[in-house]
C-alpha cells in the first residue's frame, strides 16, 4: 500500500490505521525525517513492514522512483492512496498565478504521475487507486480557486480512469473528507505564494484525521465509488446539484465568516 503525503494529517493517520490492520506500507512525502520517525513508531507498535521514500509528487521522476522502489521491496502494489496536497486562500483577482500552478503540480499532477506508474501493477492485482479530494472538488469554494480547480481535475481524471477500466477489475475511489483537522490550512498558500502560517478555523470542531481514515478504510473494504464525509459536506454536494444558485450564495456567506477572510479586504 502506497500513501503519499504520509508525514502529517490524513496521510499520517492512514499509515497508523492501515499498519494496525496488517498492511505493508510505502510512505511517501518530502520530509524523509518525519517519515522515518513515523515508520519507527509503526514498527514498534505493530511490527509492520514499512518502506519510506522521499518523494516530491510534483516531480514526475520522483513518482516513478516511488513506484519502482515499492515494487522492488514488495513485488506488487494493491492500493495507491493519492493523498499529498496543498491548499491556498486568496481571491483570484489578487492571486499570483504561480500559486495555482503549484497547487496543480502537487494536487493534480502528483495524482496523475503516481497513478500512471502504479497502474500496471494495480491492474495486475485488481487493486485500488484513491484520490483524496475535497468537497471543493464538487462545488467551487470561494477564495480557493486553485484548490477547487485541482480537486475538480482529480475527480475528472479518476472518474474517466474508472470508465476506461470498467471491466479490468480496477477499483477507483474518490474520497472527499470535508473539513478535517490537519496541517493543510497552516501550510496553505496566500496570494503571493507565502505560507498562511495559521489556520483560520477551529480545528478542534472538525472531524479528526483518525475518524476520517476509518471511513477511508471502510470505503476501500467496500470498494466504494465515492465517499463524501461530514453532514455539511454531503449537504453541499446535494444542494450544488439541485439548487446551485442558492448554494453559491450560502457558500459565499459561510466562507466570508472565516477570520481574516480575503472577502473583507
Domain edges within the chain:
2-264
Q: What is the mean pLDDT of the chain?
A: 93
Choose between 262 and 36: higher pLDDT: 36
Give the CATH H-level superfamily of domain 2-264. NAD(P)-binding Rossmann-like Domain (3.40.50.720)
Catalytic residue among 147, 152, 167, 254: 147
pLDDT at 150: 98
For residues 37 and 83, give the distance between their C-alpha atoms in angstroms, rounded to a whole number. 19
Choose between 249 and 260: higher pLDDT: 249
Grid cell locating 226: 465515492
pLDDT over 70 at 264, yes or no: no
What's the pLDDT tens digit per position in 188-202?
A: 899 988 877 565 555
Percent of the residues in the chain that have a pLDDT greater than 70, as a whole number: 93
Instruction: Find which of 102-116, 184-198, 247-261 is predicted with most confidence, using mean pLDDT.
Output: 102-116
What Å distances lie between residue 225 and 141, 146, 155, 163, CA to CA? 23, 25, 11, 11
Q: Report pTM.
A: 0.92
pLDDT at 259: 80
Active site residue 147: yes
pLDDT at 193: 87
Report which secondary-structure segment, H or E, holds 226.
strand 226-228
Residue 190: CB partners within 8 Å, gap ≥ 6? 88, 89, 90, 99, 196
Taking alpha carbons only, the member of 183, 174, 185, 179 closest to residue 230 is: 179
Report which secondary-structure segment, H or E, holds 232.
helix 231-242
Amino acid at each position: 500500500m502506497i500513501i503519499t503525503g504520509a508525514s502529517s494529517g490524513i496521510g499520517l493517520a492512514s499509515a497508523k490505521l492501515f499498519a494496525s490492520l496488517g498492511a505493508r506500507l510505502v510512505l511517501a512525502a518530502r520530509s524523509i525525517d518525519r517519515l522515518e520517525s513515523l515508520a519507527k513508531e509503526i514498527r514498534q507498535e505493530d511490527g509492520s513492514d514499512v518502506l519510506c521514500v522521499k518523494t516530491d509528487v510534483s516531480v514526475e521522476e520522483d513518482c516513478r522512483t516511488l513506484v519502482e522502489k515499492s515494487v522492488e521491496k514488495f513485488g506488487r502494489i494493491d492500493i495507491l492512496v493519492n493523498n499529498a496536497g496543498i491548499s491556498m486562500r486568496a481571491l483570484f483577482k489578487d492571486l499570483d498565478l504561480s500559486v495555482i500552478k503549484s497547487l496543480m503540480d502537487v494536487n493534480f499532477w502528483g495524482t496523475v504521475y503516481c497513478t500512471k506508474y502504479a497502474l500496471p501493477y494495480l491492474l495486475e492485482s485488481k487493486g485500488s487507486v484513491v484520490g483524496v479530494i475535497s468537497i471543493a472538488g464538487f462545488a467551487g469554494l470561494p477564495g480557493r480557486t486553485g484548490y477547487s480547480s485541482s480537486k475538480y481535475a482529480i475527480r475528472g481524471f479518476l472518474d474517466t480512469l474508472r470508465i476506461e477500466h470498467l471491466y479490468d477489475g480496477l477499483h477507483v475511489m474518490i474520497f472527499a473528507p470535508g473539513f478535517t483537522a490537519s496541517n493543510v490550512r497552516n501550510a496553505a498558500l496566500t496570494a503571493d505564494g507565502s505560507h498562511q502560517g495559521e489556520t483560520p478555523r477551529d480545528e478542534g470542531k472538525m472531524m479528526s484525521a483518525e475518524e476520517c481514515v476509518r471511513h477511508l478504510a471502510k470505503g476501500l473494504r467496500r470498494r466504494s465509488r465515492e465517499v463524501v464525509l461530514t453532514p455539511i459536506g454531503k449537504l453541499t454536494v446535494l444542494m450544488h446539484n439541485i439548487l446551485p444558485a442558492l448554494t453559491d450564495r450560502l457558500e459565499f456567506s459561510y466562507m466570508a465568516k472565516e477570520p481574516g477572510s480575503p472577502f473583507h479586504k
